[in-house]
Every structure is written in C-alpha cells, then in structure tokens.
Amino acid sequence: MKRPGRRRRPLLYVGAVVLVVAAAFPLFWMLSTSLKPSDEIFATPPRMIPVHPTLENFGRLFSQTSFLTYFRNSATVASMAVLLTLSVSALGAYGLTRFSFSGRDKVAGLILTTYMFAPVMIIIPFYILVKQLGIVNTHLALVLSYTTFCLPFCLWLLRAFFSSIPLELEEAALVDGAGRGRAVWHVVLPLALPGLIATAIFTFILAYNDFLFSMVLITSEELKTLPVGVNDLFNATIVDWGMIMAAGVMITAPAVLFFAAVQRYLVQGWGAGGVKG
Amino acid sequence: MRKNALAGWLLLAPSLTLLGGLVLFPIAYNAWLSLFDKHSFLPVQSFVGLRHYVYFAHDEEFWNSFRHGLVYAAATLVLQLAVGIPAALLLNEAFRGRNLLRGVVLFPYVIPTIVAIMLWKWLLNDSYGLVNHWLLAGRLIETPVAWLGKDWIMTSLVIASVWQFFPFVVVTYLARLQTIAPELYEAATVDGAGAWRRFVHVTLPQTASVLFVIVLLRSIWMFTKFDTVWLMAGDGGVSRYIRTLPVYAYARSFTYLQAGMGATLAVIMFLMLIVATAVYFRLFRHEEAFS
Amino acid sequence: MLTIPPSSRSLSRRHFLGGAAAGAALLGGVPAALGQQIRELHVWHTEVEPQTVKTIQDTSIAEFERKFPGFKVRQQALGWGDLNTKLLSSLAAGSPPDLTQLNPFMTASLYVKNLLRPMDELIRAVGENDIHEATRKLQYFDGKYYGITHAMGATYFCERRDLREKKGIKPPETFDDMLKLCGALTEGGRMAFQMPGEKLYMGFVHPAELLASNGGTWVDGKTWRPQFTSKSWLEILDYLQKLNKFQPAGWSGQKYLDTQAALATGKISMSYLSGARAIGYIEKYAPETMRDPEHFAPMLRPRGPSGTLGTTTLDGENWAVFTQSKYPNEAFEFLKLFYKKEHYLAYCHTVPIHLTPIFKSLLADPAYLANERIKKWKPWHDTMLTALQQKRLLPLGFSRPDDNLLPFLAELDGSSIVADMVVEVMVGGKSPKAEAERAQKRAEELLTQLGHKRWA
C-alpha cells in the first residue's frame, strides 16, 4: 500500500468527501424526508435536517399498507434463496475442484456463460415452465429462479476459493482418520468462509432486489415481495412522499445492516473471485 | 486431486439440473416459441416460421429500442468508468477512514433498484425536488427543469443508473489494484516517475485486462437492463423516449400479449450476447493466464 | 379506473380486523381456519379505496358468509393497471377468481373464446328493465348477458369554475372553444390544464373519447381496418398539438394523481381527467375556503369539427363469471346480495357520485340522495345525470357503442401505438400526418399478427 506524500493528502481528503457525498447523500436525503412532517417535505427552501422530526410516515406505512407482509415475503424468499444457493454451489464447486474428469473445464466455462443472460431474456418460457410445474404464484418459484440466476457467479467464486485451499490440508485431515465429510466441514469450509459469505451476500442482494420475476410470477397480494409491493405504493401516491421515503428506509436498512456486518468479506471475496465475474 | 468422474458429476448434478432446466431449456424453448404466433395467456397458437425475425428487421420500434439501448449502455458505461476508476484509485490509498469509505461507496449497489429509482424521482421532482431547488438557487436555471419529461428523461435515467452501478466498477477495479506488487511502484518512483506517470506506466498496464472485462460485463448488463429502465418511466407516455430492447421484449410479451414475438426479441438479444460472450471468453482466458 | 391505480392501496380485509389481531395476522399469516374444510369464493374487483373494501366486507360478504356456512369470501382489490394481466395470467394458470370485475373492452375477447358464463337469470333477478340503458347491453352477445356493471362514474374535466367565470367565458362546446378557453386561462405562471401522463389515459382512454366526439372510430366497423389516417384522427391530432401549449411541460412524466394535486393546489385551472372521486382530493388538499362546487366543478367534453356530441368515458367495470369458475352458482348468489338495495347503497356511498347506481329507480331515490357529500356536491351529481340523459357516455376505451364487439382493444392499448403517436405529436411536436401514418402501419401489422385482419 502506498503512503501518499504530504502534498497529496488534502487532495485525497477532498476526493474522499466528494465520494462519500455522491454515494451517501441521496440515502441521507431519503432518511431526512422520511422523518419530516408533510408541511416540511414540501417546504421551500428544503431543510437538510427535519425541524420537527416525526415517525408518522412510518406509522402510515405500517397501518395503511401491506408493507409488513411484503417485508416478510422478501425476507423469506431471500433467505431461502441464500440457503439453497450456498448448498448447491458449494457442492458443485467442490466437485469442480476436488475431482478431475474429462469435460470439467468445459462445464465450468459453460456455467459461466449462463452468467451473461439477463432474466428478461427468458422470462416468457420461464413463466410457461413454472406454470406447467404448477408452482406459479408461489415463493418456491421465486427461490428457484433466484438460485438459478445466482449459481453461475457463486459457483465460479467458490471454485476460485476452493482451489486456493491447499489439497494437502484436506488430505492431512483424511490421513488423521477423518471422513471426507468431516474433512470438508472442519477444514475446507472454514477456510472458504469469506467466499461463502460473499456468495451469500451476492445471492441475498439479487433475491432481495429482484423486480421482474416477482412481478411476473406472483399474482396474489399476500405473496408479493417488497420491490413489487412498494412500486405499487409508489404508483398509488403522489402526495405522500414521506411514506414512500419511509418505505425506502425500511427496505434499505436490513440490506445495509446485513451488508455492513459482513462487508469486509465482500471486497476480499470479490477480490479473489469477483475480478473474473 | 482424484480421478473420480462419477463423484464429480454427482456433486455438480444439482447445479446442472437447475441451470439446464431453468436457463438452458427456456432459451431453447424461446427459440421454438419465436417460430409461432402465440398469445401470451390464451391457448391460441400458429406456426409462422421465421416471419417474426423478418418483421423485426423492418420494425421501426425495434431499431428505436436498439438505438435507445446503445445510447443508454454507452453513456452509463463511460460515466461508470469515469466515476468508478478514480474512486477505486482513491480507495487504494492509505488514509484514515478508508475502510468505512469502502463500505459506504458500495451502498448504491446494495439497495434495491426500486429504492434507487424512487429516490432519484424524488430528488428530480420538478416542483419539490432538491436538484431543481439547488439549480434555481444557484441561478443555473430560471424555470424548473422537467427531469422526468420527454427532453430529460434519458439523462435522468443515466444519472440514476450510474449512481446505482458505479460501485461495481470500484470493487472490481480495486480488487485488481490491491494485487499489484508494490515493488513495481517503488521501481517507478526510483526512476523518478510522478503520480501520473506511475498511473500510466504501472497501473494501467497492470489493470488493462480487468478493465476490458469490466467494460464487457457492464456493457452487456446495461444493454440488457430491464428493471431500472422500466421503473423509471413505467406506464407513462414518456416511456417512448427510453424504451430499450429488454423493455420492448417485455412489452411484446406482457402488454401486446404476443409471446411469440417477445420470444423472438429475446432470441435476438441472446444472439447479440453470444457474439459479445465469445469475445469475452477469449479475453477471460487471457486474464487467467495473466494473473 | 380513476381509482388509485395499483394494488398496494388494496388493503386486504385482514387490515380491518383492528388492533392486535391485525398485527398478529400480518406477522403470523396463519389462517385461523387451518385444517378445517373451508371453501373459498374468490372475488376480484377494482375498487381499492379502503372504505369501499371495508364496506363490501361488512355488507355483502358478511351476509353471504351467514347464508352459506362453510364458504369464505376472499375479496382482492386490484389496481386498474394490474387487472388485465393478473386476470389473463390467472386464466392461463387455470385458477381464475370465481367472480371478477372486467374492463368492458376485455369482455368481447374473452367471450369469443368461450371463457364467460351467461348471467340472464341474475340480470332478471336484479331487475333487467331497471338497469340504465347506458350500461345494460354492453356485455350482451348473441342474445345473452355476460356481464353487469358494478356502478357508473362519469369522467370529465374538473375546472376551477371561479377562474373561468371571472373571464366571462362559457363552458366550451367545441374544440375551438376549448382552445380559446385554455388561452384565456393560461396566465401568471398557471397553466390552463394538465392531462395525465399514463399511457392508459393519454394513449387510450382520451383518444377514444376524442374519436367519439369527432365522428371517428378506432377501426372500420366491417373490415376492422384501423382508421388512424382518417380526417377525424388528423383533426384530433392537430387539436392535441395546439392544446399542448397550455399545459405544464413535464406533464408526460406525471400521473393522474399529480394532475389532481396540481388542480387542488392551484397550479392549473383544469384537470383533464377527473371524476367525482376527485372531490376527495379537493376536500383534502384545496385551500379550506375553496372546498366547494362553486370553485371546483365538472365540465363535460367539447365536440370536434366532424363530431356532433362531446363524449366522455363511463367508468364502470362489469362483473363477470368465468366458465372455469369453481363456484359459479355461489358467485351469482353473491352478486344478488351485492345488488341488494341496502348493501348496494352503502357501497355506492363509499365514493359518492363516482359510484352512481346502475338502477334508474335509485338515481332519484331519497335514500341515495340523503348522503352528505351528494347533498353538498349536488352540481356534480346533476352533471352525471345530464351526461346520462344526453347519452354522452361510452365505456372506457370505446370510440362507438359497437366497439364492445372488438376482441383486440386490450392489445391495442398494450401496444402503445396510440400513446406513441399522441406523445410524439403533443410533446415531440412531430407532424400529425407522419405520426398517423406510422401508427396506421403499426396497427395494421398488429391486427394482422393477432389474426384479426378482415380487410383486403
């Protein structure tokens, strides 16, 4: 790591401040608006910090809309998708790195190719397929679609992590009499933890953010996830920017908290596998 | 490493089943559907061969959407790089609060698209938005700008998208920056190279291949971006001015109710991507050998 | 229509259980009757306002569940924009609701595919001859009824009557009058009017009204050939282009609800699309001294140079029962309870005047007129009656009464062919003729692809 000279230090901090403002100011403004009573929201000039902060926007959000239902649905679907993706991709990545077989690299390449595909390109046949499986309008359909779309990247990421774990460590455990399962559990997985966490974050973000699948596959009000539910809310309201921003804060908070808790793994994880993803 | 093909395949089976069943099969099914006139919901269907493809070749809406997509992808790509690379270089320097900043910069990428769009629609609101307020207060404009009207909607979409996706460039570029050996910089410094020359002679060559990958990925993803674009204009008449190919494909399937034609557009996009992916793969191999 | 469009406002009935029970139901989500044999009657409608949902629950549903033990009615209030896609996808999935509201322009395409059940017995039971002519035969095909309107709402301009009268100008009779009025009302930073920017309205509902008001039609009645290059259309496009100068520049990026807010807060003098539902916004957002019909009044549409009568949209979806419905008989029984006088009046009073009863006998019924808001906003009710009497109302998206036979209006709306033409002419300032030709080409292609080409 370079240590910048004294001359460049002020410049550096100016840049850092600009970056913080660019990334975080819109979020700050969302939080600020969500805490304002309605006359302050439309006041000119706008105040940066609410003069009379209030929680009434949040109150309306919870009492007048199905926000909590959407929230619960999103949380359920995203966590199920994380679990499923982790299991499936860890198995696959282990298979790709610990066993050699003909066509292995071709398969890995093919899997990565599917990472290119955007959901909108397959949504019609996907819808028809899901309908024929009889799981249209279920959370299962969403979990499967998120898992599928995360898999290529996650497999690739974990493959990079697993192959960086020396085979000798695992073999040492095997020699010590541990079964393969235990060797994997006690040696491989702990070492691959940053990769697993990066995988989980990636899947969570994708599942929690998805709009298209949820819009197309879910028809019942009580099964809707946050992005679709809140988009409806947005269309329904013009005057109630306070409530809209409150919804934004409520959606963002868990994502940011989750992310903040594990973010140090992320840069690391993407550093190892993400360059290629 | 064991030679055990069966175990390897078994472990891969769940992944391959999902990908095969839910991605590859739909793609093949799309190709099949594109040969039919099929209603999206009702059981009405007739074989038309390649007629849809011929139709789109002459369809003004198709070329409009294609053009919008190119403009959108190109503009957002250039700006993401212009913001993301300097940000990554900055975050590669050692200073207090750097780790916190690294986290903060990622926020826009983490929050759901719907929130990003709502937020920007509020900031860009013509009557009460902060952007118009500041521009008016700074005497940069005299009357409020209709950011979500015809003339500015594409600009607004680009701004919101760059804000949302530039962190990807930061993270990916930063990851590569961190692996550059410090000795390279030290050697350059000894040779009397200043910051700019170090960037040009050390950093750029070292990160050339990752840059290329970023450019390819981001352009593919921006070109196929659906939700950001769709949420920006929604059902508004103004959506005409930012209608990209993914949005057009969605509309053919779900509002024109012509599943066959929607599938055709999907296949066309797919073929475009195949070309891009072929290039990407060549570069990717190169990159792997490189690092 | 004219409701808050999407379904988030559609509070499911669980929200009204009140207090802790509601919270518990929301968080737990476990149906109370888990394990019991309960048959569910699924009812979808488009009246998303909370008080309407609650009233349906407390009246028709409550009585139905008493009369049919073992049945539970699950009502789902869907936003207007959601309805078509949701219905079609539920039909495709083979699990449509037992009873639903439909847009009249959808009914024909479902009827020709044999997806609807006739309901003559029901129509006779609720009083065939008492149903207003404006709605009675909208879903009447080959001698049978396939739908019944839930309630009638007229749409019109909502004007600041005080501002117009100050100028001494009469309500406009013709397109030209309208342009003059708009010119007079655009001053001092206030624009004359604002049209909603949703494609559905500016690209489908209003063009249909304009066609009907100017002697034009979507398609030729016999050959179904689109008529975009007709004299009528060109006059309309020309009119719209001129009209555009008198509305805020950013209108195409705003929505129906924005126009109501702009009117209530004095930014414009007329909202292009309004109905009696707007009274709610006026009473909430207009300055307190102005919340009355002297300041905010409905104004009917002008006619075009080739037309005879200014025509406007009748907002009124119709109830329909699918052939795939699981409990069709119960669905009809539910409707009988829905139209039972006391229940029906309570329903109509949830959005007074905008939910005008379909029964002629109720229009002047003291029990109906006794409502506070109807009394206070009487001129709005009178405008509704005038519009009915003068036959100025056509269902949403219809350019003429016979459009109920066209099985492709949903696709025409979804294609945004009309919306693109209108927005290019109005906002883009493009030549009406060139845009009309482009729309004509696209529409001919669309109808051909959909298999509805009957012209040579």
Per DSSP, the residues of chain B read -B--HHHHHHHHHHHHHHHIIIIIHHHHHHHHHTTEEEBSSSS-EEE-TTHHHHHHHT-HHHHHHHHHHHHHHHHHHHHHHHHHHHHHHHHTS--TTHHHHHHHHHHHHHS-HHHHHHHHHHHT-TTT-HHHHHHHHTTS-SS---TTSTTTHHHHHHHHHHHHHHHHHHHHHHHHHTTS-HHHHHHHHHTT--HHHHIIIIIHHHHHHHHHHHHHHHHHHHHT--HHHHHHHTTBGGGGGG--HHHHHHHHHHTS-BHHHHHHHHHHHHHHHHHHHHHHHHHHHHHHHH-
- In this predicted structure, the answer to whether residue A113 has a pLDDT above a threshold of 80 is no
* Residues C9, C5: Cα–Cα separation, whole Å: 9
C-alpha closest to that of C207 among C427, C53, C453, C420: C420
Answer yes or no: do B110 and A270 touch at CB < 8 A: no
Distance from CA of C22 to the nearest CA of A (A): 9
Answer yes or no: do B23 and A15 touch at CB < 8 A: no
Q: Which residues contact B271 (CB under 8 A, 6 or more apart)?
A: none
Answer yes or no: do B126 and C81 touch at CB < 8 A: no
* Residues C412, C391: Cα–Cα separation, whole Å: 25
- Residue B291 sits at the chain C interface (C-beta within 8 Å): no
Torsion of CA C226, C230, C232, C236, to 10 degrees: 80
* Residues C82, C78: Cα–Cα separation, whole Å: 6
Q: Which residues of B touch C81 (CB under 8 A)?
A: 235
Strand partners, C72: C40
* Residues C416, C295: Cα–Cα separation, whole Å: 36
- Residue A194 sits at the chain B interface (C-beta within 8 Å): no
- In this structure, the number of other CB atoms found within 10 A of the CB of residue A43 comes to 13
- In this predicted structure, the answer to whether residue A189 has a pLDDT above a threshold of 90 is no
pTM: 0.87
* Residues A107, A109: Cα–Cα separation, whole Å: 5
For C130-231, strand residue ranges (E) read 140-141, 144-145, 148-149, 153-154, 156-160, 191-194
- Residue C442 sits at the chain B interface (C-beta within 8 Å): yes
Answer yes or no: do B114 and A8 touch at CB < 8 A: no
Express as a percent the part of chain C with pLDDT over 70.
91
B 195-234 residues with CB below 8 A of C?
233
pLDDT band at A64 (very low <50, low <70, confident <90, very high): confident
Answer yes or no: do C250 and B40 touch at CB < 8 A: no
Distance from CA of A58 to the nearest CA of C (A): 15
Answer yes or no: do A266 and B269 touch at CB < 8 A: no
pLDDT band at A273 (very low <50, low <70, confident <90, very high): very low
- In this predicted structure, the answer to whether residue A190 has a pLDDT above a threshold of 70 is yes
- In this predicted structure, the answer to whether residue B288 has a pLDDT above a threshold of 70 is no
Answer yes or no: do C89 and A136 touch at CB < 8 A: yes
b/e map C303-316, b = 16+ CB within 10 Å: bbebbeebbbbbbb
* Residues A78, A72: Cα–Cα separation, whole Å: 10
* Residues B232, B120: Cα–Cα separation, whole Å: 9
- In order, the DSSP letters of A165-218 are S-HHHHHHHHHTT--HHHHIIIIIHHHTHHHHHHHHHHHHHHHHH--HHHHHH-
- Residue B237 sits at the chain C interface (C-beta within 8 Å): yes
Place of tokens 């300032």: C429
* Residues C385, C357: Cα–Cα separation, whole Å: 11
Answer yes or no: do A109 and B281 touch at CB < 8 A: yes
Least confident of A14-23, A97-106, C141-150: A97-106
- In this predicted structure, the answer to whether residue C383 has a pLDDT above a threshold of 70 is yes
**Closest chain A residue to C284 measured between Cα atoms?**
A239
- Residue A264 sits at the chain B interface (C-beta within 8 Å): yes
Answer yes or no: do B94 and A2 touch at CB < 8 A: yes
Place of tokens 């073992």: C70
C 113-142 residues with CB below 8 A of B?
113
Q: Which residues contact C360 (CB under 8 A, 6 or more apart)?
A: C130, C131, C132
- What is the pLDDT at residue C249? 86
For residue B247 the two structure tokens come to 């949005």
C-alpha closest to that of A27 among A255, A214, A239: A255
Residue of higher predicted confidence among C13 and B281: B281
Distance from CA of residue B14 to its chain's centroid? 28
* Residues C446, C452: Cα–Cα separation, whole Å: 9
| A-B C-beta contacts closer than 8 Å | 296
- Residue A11 sits at the chain B interface (C-beta within 8 Å): no
Residue B41 is nearest to which of C88, C267, C451, comparing CB atoms? C88
**Closest chain C residue to A129 measured between Cα atoms?**
C93
* Residues A51, A94: Cα–Cα separation, whole Å: 56
For residue C79 the two structure tokens come to 């936003």
Tell me the mean pLDDT in the region B63-84: 96
End-to-end CA distance of chain A: 25
Radius of gyration of chain A (CA): 23
Q: Which residues contact B205 (CB under 8 A, 6 or more apart)?
A: none
- Residue A132 sits at the chain B interface (C-beta within 8 Å): no
Q: What sign has the CA pseudo-torsion B266, B271, B274, B276?
A: negative
Distance from CA of B168 to the nearest CA of C (A): 30
- Residue A140 sits at the chain B interface (C-beta within 8 Å): no
Predicted complex ipTM: 0.87
Answer yes or no: do B41 and C203 touch at CB < 8 A: no
pLDDT band at C24 (very low <50, low <70, confident <90, very high): very low
Torsion of CA B206, B208, B209, B212, to 10 degrees: 160
* Residues B162, B159: Cα–Cα separation, whole Å: 5
- What is the pLDDT at residue C14? 34
- What is the pLDDT at residue A3? 52
* Residues B129, B120: Cα–Cα separation, whole Å: 9
C-alpha closest to that of C204 among C453, C394, C444: C394
Answer yes or no: do B213 and A275 touch at CB < 8 A: yes
Structure letter (DSSP) for residue C5:
S
**Closest chain B residue to C443 measured between Cα atoms?**
B256
Long-range pairs for A109-113: beta carbons < 8 A, 24 or more residues apart: A109/B281, A111/A151, A111/A152, A111/A155, A111/A156, A111/B15, A111/B19, A112/A152, A112/A156, A112/B284, A113/A152, A113/B277, A113/B281
C-alpha closest to that of B232 among B129, B159, B183: B159
Distance from CA of A62 to the nearest CA of B (A): 17
Q: What are phi and psi of C370, to 5 degrees?
A: -70, -10
Express as a percent the part of chain B with pLDDT over 90.
49
* Residues C50, C351: Cα–Cα separation, whole Å: 11
* Highest mean predicted confidence (pLDDT) among A56-65, B264-273, C22-31, C239-248: C239-248
- Residue B290 sits at the chain C interface (C-beta within 8 Å): no
Q: Which residues of A touch B287 (CB under 8 A)?
A: 275-276
* Residues B128, B140: Cα–Cα separation, whole Å: 17
Q: Which of C8, C10, C16, C26 to mutate to test the interface with A (most CBs of A within 10 A)?
A: C8
- Residue A182 sits at the chain B interface (C-beta within 8 Å): no
Q: Which residues contact B132 (CB under 8 A, 6 or more apart)?
A: B124, B125, B126, B141, B144, B145, B147
Instruction: Report the neighbours of A using a cutoff of 3 or more CB pairs below 8 angstroms.
Output: B, C
Residue A235 is nearest to which of C6, C11, C15, comparing CB atoms? C6
Q: Which of B11, B221, B275 to mutate to test the interface with A (most CBs of A within 10 A)?
A: B11
Q: What does the angle CA A78 – CA A82 – CA A85 come to, to the nearest 5 degrees?
A: 130
Answer yes or no: do B23 and A113 touch at CB < 8 A: no
Cβ contact B267:B250 at 8 Å:
no
- What is the pLDDT at residue B284? 57
- What is the pLDDT at residue B217? 82
* Residues C216, C208: Cα–Cα separation, whole Å: 9
For C279-417, strand residue ranges (E) read 296-299, 312-315, 318-320, 393-395
- What is the pLDDT at residue C304? 97
Q: Tell me the per-residue pLDDT of B33-45, one tens digit each, with 9 for 90 and over.
A: 999 998 888 777 8
- In this predicted structure, the answer to whether residue C43 has a pLDDT above a threshold of 50 is yes
Q: Which residues of C touch B251 (CB under 8 A)?
A: 414-416
**Closest chain A residue to C261 measured between Cα atoms?**
A239
> CA–CA distance from B202 to each of A12, A190, B183, B198, B211 (Å)?
20, 36, 10, 5, 14
Structure letter (DSSP) for residue A223:
G
- In this structure, the number of other CB atoms found within 10 A of the CB of residue A268 comes to 17
* Highest mean predicted confidence (pLDDT) among A30-39, A203-212, C299-308: C299-308
* Residues C341, C350: Cα–Cα separation, whole Å: 14
Q: Which residues of B touch A117 (CB under 8 A)?
A: 23, 27, 270, 273
Residue B103 is nearest to which of A114, A231, A260, comparing CB atoms? A260
Structure letter (DSSP) for residue C198:
B
Place of tokens 């048959």: C39
Residue type, B202: V
Q: Which of B40, B45, B240 to mutate to test the interface with C (most CBs of C within 10 A)?
A: B240
Helix (H) or strand (E) holding C271: strand C268-274
Q: Within a 13 Å sphere around the CA of A235, how many CA atoms are in the beta-carbon half?
A: 28
Cβ contact B227:B113 at 8 Å:
yes
DSSP percent split of chain C into helix, strand, coil, nearest 5: 50, 15, 35
pLDDT band at C73 (very low <50, low <70, confident <90, very high): very high
Residue B224 is nearest to which of A13, A100, A120, comparing CB atoms? A120
Answer yes or no: do C252 and B238 touch at CB < 8 A: yes
**Closest chain B residue to A41 measured between Cα atoms?**
B128
- Residue C219 sits at the chain B interface (C-beta within 8 Å): no
Least confident of A36-40, A245-249, A267-271, C331-335: A267-271
Length reported for chain A:
277
Q: Which residues of A touch B95 (CB under 8 A)?
A: 4, 9, 12-13, 16
Answer yes or no: do B235 and C198 touch at CB < 8 A: yes
Average pLDDT, chain A: 84
pLDDT band at A106 (very low <50, low <70, confident <90, very high): confident
- In this predicted structure, the answer to whether residue B2 has a pLDDT above a threshold of 70 is no
**Closest chain B residue to C262 measured between Cα atoms?**
B127
Answer yes or no: do C255 and A235 touch at CB < 8 A: yes
